[in-house]
């Protein structure tokens, strides 16, 4: 099926100025603008590299200061990929304002205290789901999942 005619004429809705050479400051300026106009401005596509090819998935940014913080299960596919190859990239697509931001760099683990604090800040249902699921792994059956939940 040809889809080449599906096109939007994108125009920058607001002139965005780069005030200095600090990329975090620039991101902060852009993010604060997006936060006023975009649904889930913290959503981004994370790309990692496994031993064969790039892998991408949607994530949520949790913080930015000296770097960009997101949380994942280190036993998930993305966690394993990041442990084996720390190179990754993030792509924020802010459709409503016709802007995207690409960030490439090296991933590093944060302190365990921060991950625990984040885990316990999540809604109870999310905590249970994270605990029960072997992220990126196939579930044997719905019944198996329910048995784990009841334990």
pLDDT digits (tens, 9 = 90+) for 63-82: 999 899 998 878 888 888 99
pLDDT at position 41 is 98
* Residue with the larger pLDDT of the pair 97 and 111: 97
Residue 64, in any domain of the structure: yes
72 touches 64 (CB < 8 A): no
Q: Do 61 and 121 belong to one domain?
A: no
Tally the domains of the chain.
Answer: 2
Minimum mean pLDDT range among 47-61, 68-82, 124-138: 124-138
Q: Do 77 and 121 belong to one domain?
A: no
* Residue with the larger pLDDT of the pair 22 and 111: 22
Q: Do 78 and 25 belong to one domain?
A: yes
Tell me: pLDDT of 133 over 70: no
Question: Both tokens of residue 38?
Answer: 């975009």
Residue 29, in any domain of the structure: yes
Q: Do 115 and 100 belong to one domain?
A: no
Mean pLDDT along residues 73-94 = 91
* Residue with the larger pLDDT of the pair 102 and 75: 102
Q: Do 117 and 106 belong to one domain?
A: no
Q: Do 59 and 119 belong to one domain?
A: no
Question: Both tokens of residue 99?
Answer: 């802007």
DSSP SS3 for 63? strand
**What is the full DSSP assignment across 64-129?**
ESSSEE----TTSHHHHHHHH--EEEEEEEEGGGTEEEEEEEE-----HHHHHHHHHHS-HHHHHH
pLDDT at position 2 is 86
Residue 4, in any domain of the structure: no
Residue 6, in any domain of the structure: no
pLDDT at position 106 is 95
Residue 8, in any domain of the structure: no
Mean pLDDT over all residues of the chain?
83
Give how far Cα 148 sits from Cα of 21, 63, 67, Å: 51, 32, 36
* Residue with the larger pLDDT of the pair 77 and 103: 103
What residues contact 119, with CB distance under 8 A and at least 6 apart?
71, 127, 130
pLDDT at position 141 is 74
Tell me: pLDDT of 43 over 90: yes
* Residue with the larger pLDDT of the pair 93 and 132: 93
Report residue 94's pLDDT band, with 50, 70 and 90 as the boundaries: very high
Domain span holding position 120: 111-151
């Amino acid at each position: 099926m040809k889809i080449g005619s599906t096109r939007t004429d994108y125009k920058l809705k607001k002139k965005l100025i780069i005030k200095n050479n600090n990329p975090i400051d620039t991101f902060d300026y852009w993010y604060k603008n997006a936060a006023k106009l975009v649904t889930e401005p913290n959503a981004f596509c994370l790309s990692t590299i496994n031993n064969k090819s790039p892998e991408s998935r949607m994530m949520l940014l949790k913080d930015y200061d000296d770097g960009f913080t997101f949380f994942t299960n280190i036993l998930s596919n993305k966690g394993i990929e990041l442990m084996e190859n720390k190179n990754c990239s993030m792509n924020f697509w802010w459709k409503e304002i016709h802007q995207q931001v690409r960030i490439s760099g090296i991933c590093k683990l944060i302190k365990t205290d921060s991950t625990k604090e984040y885990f316990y800040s999540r809604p109870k249902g999310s905590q249970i789901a994270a605990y029960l699921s072997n992220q990126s792994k196939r579930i044997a059956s719905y019944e198996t999942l329910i048995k784990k939940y009841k334990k």
